[in-house]
Amino acid sequence: MVVSPKITKIEVTTFEHQLENVGKDYNTFNTVYEKGGALTQRGTVLQIHTDMGITGEYPGVGGPALAQIQHASEYLIGKDALEREKIYQDLKRGLRHWDMTGIGPIDICLWDIAGKLFDAPLYRLLGGTRKPLPAYASTLHGDENGGLSTPEQFADFAEQCYEMGYKSFKIHGWGLGGQRIQREIDNVLNMGQRVGDRMNLLIDPACEYENFAQALAVGRACDEANFFWYEDPYKDGGVSQFAHKKLRQMIKTPILQTEHIRFLEQHVDFIVAESTDYVRAGAHEDGGITGTMKIAAATEGFGLDVELHGPGPVHRHIMSSIRNTNFFELGLVHPLVKSTRSPFYGGGYNDDLDGIDSDGNVFAPEGPGIGVPLDWDWINAHKVDGGILAEA
């Protein structure tokens, strides 16, 4: 018998939570360490209910995605929850005027439904193998508050991470390109001297350097310090194919672009333009598991590796199901900040600094679907908004 769970209801629950010992830096977009500081984190859980009594749930919905889910909710009612490909294609057209980040949580919920229906974790549905996933410690941005405020403090933290089991470490620096680019260069060179003989070193300026010349200067330092990759250096926003092809011609360090372009077609265009070495993709940004698997396969077809953006159980499942990838991004971490995440997952799931085993690895969850229970007591205790977006 062919099973066909029909979507009956789209529901959201928005919560707020205070993160401790963090604040904002000079540009208000970077979260950084600040002793005694507090930031309100807001998030939304999406639930897609079906007529078979199975509900897909995903807690990683941000504001712009929520607006798009609202826009798409009427369309989803009555659809077969297993027809992910049709829904992906329809939503890609329906949301084409926006950044399309609404598609990711919807697609992930549909995969969660499938996993619960067939009583299998997602990596099993994807044909994967549960295996060690090497994690890198991905830092909070550098701060001016005595946490990660000097190259020495960054290197001390890298050594701490190495002692914990991490084999790889990623700097998110201070930015302030024009005035302080030398500090970024010093950080790269010092890191190479202190831990370069035993850790894979990565740096992500998160598009904060002012111009191409500064991107090139730090890239040349990465060459000297033998960095593993150099990611999104400057204020083109990470999207210029011409500039990054040029940068690749001028430095030796592999670059990682495509975090800030969307979906399969733009990724393939970027690869064909010879504008990146490693290929960035993410289930939030690139159309969920369906979209990310397409990019992973396209990348494999070019003989290249895909690197998933950010942590979470969904990326653990995807990473367990593809060959051409290297690292799990565990972050954002800091020596003096306990967590930068709201604790909506139960079941002991952990993407904080101590979430690795002694060899620096993480593993995919083993429960059905996403495979990690949501802590609904916590979510409801922190609920500030929500309701039904559409219903049959």
Q: Closest distance between Mg ion and the C-beta of residue 176, in Å?
A: 18
| Residues 24/30/32/36 CA torsion (nearest 10 deg) | 20
Considering only residues 154-183, where is the footprint of Mg ion by CB under 5 A?
Answer: none
Rounded-to-integer distance, Cα 180 and Cα 174, Å: 8
Let me know: does 259 contact 285? Beta carbons within 8 Å.
yes
Q: 369 pairs with which residues across the strands? A: 121
Q: Which stretch binds Mg ion (CB under 5 A): 64-72, 117-125, 199-207, 212-220?
A: 199-207
Give which of 234, 293, 232, 290 is closest to 261, Cα–Cα.
232
Are 325 and 350 spatial neighbours (Cβ–Cβ below 8 Å)? Answer: no
Q: Using the rule CB under 5 A, which residue among 11, 57, 204, 329 binds Mg ion? A: 204
Residue (14 or 214) nearer to Mg ion, CB: 214
Instruction: Name the residue nearer to Mg ion (CB basis): 9 or 341.
Output: 341
Q: Smaller CB distance to Mg ion: residue 112 or 208?
A: 208
Give the tokens for residue 367. 């429960």
Of 46-54, 105-113, 202-210, 291-299, which segment contacts Mg ion by CB under 5 A? 202-210
Number of residues that bind Mg ion (CB under 5 A): 2
Binding mask 78-117 for Mg ion (x = CB under 5 A): ----------------------------------------
Taking the complex as a whole, the smallest distance from the CB of residue 228 to Mg ion amounts, in Å, to: 14
**Nearest residue (CB) to Mg ion, 206 versus 314:** 206
Is residue 321 within 8 A of residue 126, CB to CB? The reply is yes
Sole window of 49-57, 150-158, 217-225, 251-259 interacting with Mg ion (rule: CB under 5 A): 251-259
Nearer to Mg ion, 208 or 259 (CB): 259
Q: Which is nearer to Mg ion, 259 or 351 (CB)?
A: 259
Residue nearest to Mg ion (CB): 204
Least distance between Mg ion and beta carbon 383 (Å)? 31
Radius of gyration of the chain (CA): 21
Nearer to Mg ion by C-beta: 109 or 296? 296
CB of 259 to Mg ion, least distance (A): 5
CB of 138 to Mg ion, least distance (A): 8
**Cis omega before residue 332 (within 30°)?**
yes
In contact, 33 and 147? CB cutoff 8 Å: yes
Instruction: Kindly state the smallest distance separating residue 16's Cβ from Mg ion, in Å.
Output: 25
Angle of helix 63-76 versus helix 84-94 axis, rounded to 10: 120
Provide, rounded to whole angstroms, the least separation between the CB of residue 170 and Mg ion.
9
**Residue with token string 């830092």:** 139
- Between 330 and 372, CB nearer to Mg ion: 330
Cβ 285 to Mg ion shortest distance, Å:
11
Restricting to residues 292-351, name those near Mg ion by CB under 5 A. none
Identity of the residue, 123 or 229, whose beta carbon is nearer to Mg ion in the bound complex:
229
CB of 204 to Mg ion, least distance (A): 4
The owner of tokens 């799931």 is 349
Nearest distance in Å: CB 192, Mg ion: 20
Question: Which residues between 253 and 272 bind Mg ion (CB under 5 A)?
Answer: 259
Enumerate residues 6+ apart whose C-beta is below 8 A from 317. 121, 122, 123, 126, 128, 289, 364, 365, 370, 371
**Nearer to Mg ion among residue 309 and residue 382 (C-beta):** 309
Provide the 8-state DSSP code for 317: H
Instruction: Specify the length of the chain in residues.
Output: 392
Q: Which two tokens stand for residue 111?
A: 């995969």
| Region near Mg ion per CB under 5 A, out of 70-78, 99-107, 252-260, 291-299 | 252-260
DSSP annotation string for 149-202: -SHHHHHHHHHHHHHHT-SEEEEE----HHHHHHHHHHHHHHHHHHHTTTSEEE
Contacts with Mg ion by CB under 5 A lie at: 204, 259
